[in-house]
Structure 1
Amino acid sequence: MRLSTATLTSAGGRPYNEDCFGHRTLGGAQCWLVADGLGGHVGGEVASQAAVEGFLYSFAQQPRPLSAESLERHLQAAHAGVLAGQRDHPDLANMRTTLVALLSDGTAALWAHIGDSRLYGFRHGKLAEATQDHSVPQAMANAGEIPPTAIRHHEDRNRLLRDVGGTKGIRPTIKATPWVLQSGDGFLLCTDGFWEHVTETAMAIELAKSATPQQWLDNMAWRLQHLGLQGHDNYTAIAVFVD
């Protein structure tokens, strides 16, 4: 299978961008990453970059095999990268970030996330897989206290239960079994500044109208940009098509 990629990042309505993304191909294996530095912690942009760089370095050392164990190792390297930055810069000792990662060997894919940056998997034009946030509203939805649709604009949406860079270590959610790729599959990795304003229905509608991952991202970004938002969050997304 051939996998094509497009990326998008913007400061949105903020003065600077705390998001970071990465993509690397080595020997037929590929990885994609999106990280969102937490705005409530000083050094969010440093944390997101350190996490992405740590993951990419680990992936470069051993891009195969495609396994949950390999993905865990790369995530631990991302966490170690943030911790190293905290030690080197005491003024950034509380910096944190989210992280969502996708791996593929060209035949199958695995993914994992920490925090509320998301991965969506589409098959036959329909949403087939989606990560669940490590957040207070997601926990409330899982407990039946609020409907899942209320997560997007819940007052506690920014209260995360897991992150990269915390003193208690990381607790990633890793897909247990590989997703065997089929032609026409599509993946979207994105920060909360993106999915908060682009619904899953909108993602599927724009996917149906898009011949390339860049067109898919452009169509969704157009929707976001025409909402007339003021001071909205940074947003970053990576789109991957399986040909």
Structure 2
Amino acid sequence: MRKENSNFKTSFLSEAGSFLQNKDYFAYTELDDVACWVAVKGLDSDQEISSAELAVKAILEKFMEKPSMSRRSIKKYIRYAQNILQNQSLRVRLKASIVIVVSDYSKMIVAVAGNSRLYHFRNGTLSFKSTDQSLAQELVSNRERSLDISQHEERTNLLNYLGKPNDFQPFVSKKMKLMDGDVLVLCTAGFWEDVGEIEMADALEEVKEPEQYTDLLEEVLLSRQRKVVNNYTIAAIFVNKVYQETNKKKMKYIKMIAAALIVTLIVGGGAIYYQAKQGKKMAELTVEMKDHEKSGNLYFQDGNYEKALLEYSQGRNAAKKLHDPIHRNLLAKKLRITELIINGDKSAEAGKFDDALKQYEKAKKEGKLIDDFGKEATEQKIANMDTIVQIAEAVKDGDFRFEAEDYNGALESYQKARKKALPIAYTGEPQIKTKIEETEAKIAELKKTQKELKAEGLEKSGDQSYARQEYGKAIEYYTLAQEIYQETELLSKVLGLERKVMNANDKLNPVPQGPAAGKAVPEEEIPPMDEGTAANQPSDSELMKEGK
């Protein structure tokens, strides 16, 4: 009777957000020896059939028919739900993203199809997070980068999901051990896109019951004040006590511990060595904590908030291991302020200026509690908001002109935006630079095309002159066209015109073929006239007078 000898508490919320219909669905069952929790997000547009509800009920139905914690059985449960969705796809193809947790109250297995997630927290820190089956996750994994993909543009481009017509391959993990005090969070994309794992961990410090935890997480989500709130599901499982193994196994562990104690007594001084080792470990953790905080401060000053966030998180984890509440809270607050600034920057880049301003104001307000931490940075960002708006407008105008193929106008707008972005270290400046390079490439391509058209016109004029036997003009046209083709690196055209120039030259300056009838006699062959003969010849004027 594993359930009776363990303590698992579950609380959940599933809401429609800004929509009339909630396409999410959550349910669970706890049997004597094994339990199953399922959270699903419907991805289709069918207004009559809830694909999420269908999937959850199908899985729990099969689970209760034959409860098991084997990976093979869990795959069968998912396949059954897959078949149900495919068979019910009458008007539209039913699709859903699913996360499943199956536990025997001492271990668990996680299964995922899509981007619904499981977060596993231990001692207040993230121990495990399920991997999405999305293009965004694949891009990040292929580049071997540990980035949060909550705002990645391809996060909803799923490579696998319930209802996929072909090659459906859900992920099923190996067994993972649970410990007393563990917390499991199952959620859909409507929640994790706006609430980070750091905030989830922070919220655990303030609650003792799963109901309090889900309520607090919902408050964090809604505090974002999005204009559109998607369907969201949050389910929290507090593992207060795991099931302990049988007495036989307990005796085995007792014997192992006894043997270890005997070895310690024989060796002598083992306890002293252990204490010294623990003292050394604590000292190393203290140095590690301070180093992470120092590095975080330097990154923060340089405006590299992503790296500062990572350093503060690692420093806070070290403080937790040291049981140092003062530094833990200090680093948690610095981490929180840094995250607010990052969220503000992301909102500004997305054109959500009101949201960005709220994030910066909140960061400034929270920074006052720890000696105005980040005051200069947040005040500067607030002061830069007008400039950021101007940058966004210039970029928008550039995009409009680019789409209209007014590349010169687009380039002018992008350059104006970048000129304003550089002095304030605007985070979107690299994207503007890329737009400038793309526009310059388009302009260069157009210029090349125009040159080629001009060269073709000159070549055509040369052909016309050649046809009229105006060989000198033809050569002039061909030469001009040849120069342009050389500039545009059209070597085949250059060689073709070389032959045309040679043909025109041959026509203009033909090679003599020797004396022939009707041809002029060279001067040296004309016999010279004597003076008498020349004197007796009548002049042209005399011939005209005589009428000759």
Q: TM-score, normalised by structure 2?
A: 0.42
Q: Contact 1:44–1:95 (CA<8 Å) still a contact in 2?
A: no
2:39 pairs, out of 26, 34, 46, with: 34
Q: Contact 1:135–1:160 (CA<8 Å) still a contact in 2?
A: yes
Task: Show CA shifts across 1:152-207 (max 9, x none).
Answer: 1122221111010111153111112x122211011000000000111000000001
Taking a change above 3 Å as real, the CA distance of residues 44 and 132 of structure 1, as seen in their structure-2 partners, is farther
In the TM superposition, what are the counterparts of 1:126-165 in structure 2 within 5 Å? 126-144=125-143, 148-149=147-148, 151-165=149-163
Mapped to 2, the partners of 1:180 and 1:145 lie a distance apart of: 27
Name the SS for the 1:121 alignment partner: strand
Name the SS for the 1:240 alignment partner: strand
Name the SS for the 1:101 alignment partner: strand
Q: Which amino acid aligns with 2:34?
A: A
> Shift of the alpha carbon at 1:105?
1.2
- The runs of 4+ residues in structure 1 deviating greater than 6 Å are none
1:172 pairs, out of 146, 167, 170, with: 170
In the TM superposition, what are the counterparts of 1:212-231 in structure 2 within 5 Å? 212-231=209-228
Q: Which amino acid aligns with 2:213?
A: W
Does 1:47 pair with 2:44?
Answer: no
Q: Contact 1:50–1:85 (CA<8 Å) still a contact in 2?
A: no
> Shift of the alpha carbon at 1:42?
3.3
1:242 pairs, out of 192, 214, 239, with: 239
Mapped to 1, the partners of 2:185 and 2:119 lie a distance apart of: 5
Does 1:60 pair with 2:30?
Answer: no
In the TM superposition, what are the counterparts of 1:97-116 in structure 2 within 5 Å? 97-116=96-115
Mapped to 1, the partners of 2:49 and 2:11 lie a distance apart of: 21
Mapped to 2, the partners of 1:43 and 1:76 lie a distance apart of: 24
Q: Contact 1:36–1:117 (CA<8 Å) still a contact in 2?
A: yes
Mapped to 1, the partners of 2:168 and 2:47 lie a distance apart of: 18
> Shift of the alpha carbon at 1:236?
0.3
Q: Contact 1:22–1:33 (CA<8 Å) still a contact in 2?
A: yes
2:8 pairs, out of 3, 18, 31, with: 3
Higher relative CO (Cα under 8 Å, sequence separation at least 6) belongs to 1
> Which range moved further: 205-214 or 190-199?
205-214
| RMSD, aligned α-carbons | 1.7
Name the SS for the 1:148 alignment partner: coil
Taking a change above 3 Å as real, the CA distance of residues 136 and 127 of structure 1, as seen in their structure-2 partners, is same
> Shift of the alpha carbon at 1:107?
1.6
Does 1:96 pair with 2:95?
Answer: yes
> Shift of the alpha carbon at 1:145?
8.0
Q: Specify the structure having the higher radius of gyration (Cα).
A: 2
Taking a change above 3 Å as real, the CA distance of residues 32 and 199 of structure 1, as seen in their structure-2 partners, is same
1:25 corresponds to which residue?
Answer: 30
Name the SS for the 1:51 alignment partner: helix
Task: Show CA shifts across 1:12-68 (max 9, x none).
Answer: 1122111011111222311100000114x435962111111110111011112x221
Return the structure number with greater helix share: 2
Q: Which amino acid aligns with 1:168?
A: N
In the TM superposition, what are the counterparts of 1:176-215 in structure 2 within 5 Å? 176=174, 178-215=175-212
1:69 corresponds to which residue?
Answer: 72
Taking a change above 3 Å as real, the CA distance of residues 198 and 44 of structure 1, as seen in their structure-2 partners, is farther
Q: Which amino acid aligns with 1:117?
A: S
Taking a change above 3 Å as real, the CA distance of residues 211 and 171 of structure 1, as seen in their structure-2 partners, is same
> Shift of the alpha carbon at 1:146?
6.8
Mapped to 1, the partners of 2:168 and 2:121 lie a distance apart of: 27
Task: Show CA shifts across 1:49-99 (max 9, x none).
Answer: 1111110111011112x221121111112212212322xxx213x110011
Taking a change above 3 Å as real, the CA distance of residues 82 and 11 of structure 1, as seen in their structure-2 partners, is same
Mapped to 2, the partners of 1:123 and 1:4 lie a distance apart of: 16
2:119 corresponds to which residue?
Answer: 120
Taking a change above 3 Å as real, the CA distance of residues 198 and 77 of structure 1, as seen in their structure-2 partners, is same
Mapped to 1, the partners of 2:198 and 2:173 lie a distance apart of: 23
Q: Which amino acid aligns with 2:231?
A: N
What fraction of aligned residue pairs are identical, expressed as a percent?
Answer: 30
Task: Show CA shifts across 1:83-142 (max 9, x none).
Answer: 2322xxx213x1100110001111211111010000011111110010111111111111
> Which range moved further: 123-132 or 44-53?
44-53
Taking a change above 3 Å as real, the CA distance of residues 143 and 169 of structure 1, as seen in their structure-2 partners, is closer
Task: Show CA shifts across 1:193-228 (max 9, x none).
Answer: 000111000000001221011111111110111111
Mapped to 2, the partners of 1:74 and 1:226 lie a distance apart of: 37
